[in-house]
Structure 1
Amino acid sequence: MEKRLYVGNLSYNTTEDEVEALFQQAGAVEACHLMLDKFTSRSRGFAFVEMATVEEANKAVKLFNDKDFQGRPLRVNIARPREERPPRRNQNVHRSGPSENH
């Protein structure tokens, strides 16, 4: 069983420290990663929290799923394994060569 949790429906003003402090109420937090927009560095509204044990992860789901946190009902569940995706093609590559519009 997994001990990594998906935490969704976070306020965009929530900090990583606030998420970690909340989940410490369920047990030892090994890691907390608030997902940020790469262009604005603003929260994307979700995080991943890794608890020390499977039991603590299950306890956190029971304690915090649908619980109001900063005015929003949290979505907390066991995270699915990350899917491998093919590399993205670079959309900004300009092809050089003869122009077709002479």
Structure 2
Amino acid sequence: MNIYVGNLSYRMTDAELKEAFAPFGEIRRAKVVMDRETNRSKGFGFVEMDDDTAAQNAITELNGKEIGGRALRVNEARPRD
């Protein structure tokens, strides 16, 4: 399952994002989206997990949780248009 994570701290790294989701199960990939021109975080990212049950638990537990001084918005990622 691909999970959207919004309202991230602009200082959060891929490793820190992965660490936040690690207690819920195996992480295939964790990526903070960066601006191509400034190389700064855009404040959101994506986490991929193979186990849908673990991913759903992560969404439930982390949505609204404060990390890095910001309350995360976590939900299942919608396909790109």
Q: TM-score range by the shorter chain?
A: over 0.9
- Asked if residue 21 in structure 1 is aligned to residue 19 in structure 2, the reply is yes
TM-score of the aligned structures, taking structure 1 as reference length: 0.77
**Where do 4+ consecutive residues of structure 1 move more than 2 Å?**
none
Q: Specify the alignment match of 1:59 in structure 2.
A: 57
> Structure 2 CA distance, aligned partners of 1:30 and 1:62?
19
Q: Give the superposed CA RMSD.
A: 0.6
The answer for unaligned runs of 5 or more in structure 1 is 84-102
More helix per residue: 1 or 2? 2
Secondary structure of 2:42 counterpart: strand
TM-score of the aligned structures, taking structure 2 as reference length: 0.96
- Pairs aligned (count): 81
Query: Bigger radius of gyration, 1 or 2?
Result: 1
Q: RCO greater where, 1 or 2, for CA within 8 Å and sep 6 or more?
A: 2
Q: How far does the alpha carbon of each residue in 1:65-90 deviate from its partner, in whole angstroms, 9 at most, with x for none?
A: 0000011000000000111xxxxxxx
Q: Indicate the percent of aligned positions where both proteins have the same amino acid.
A: 43
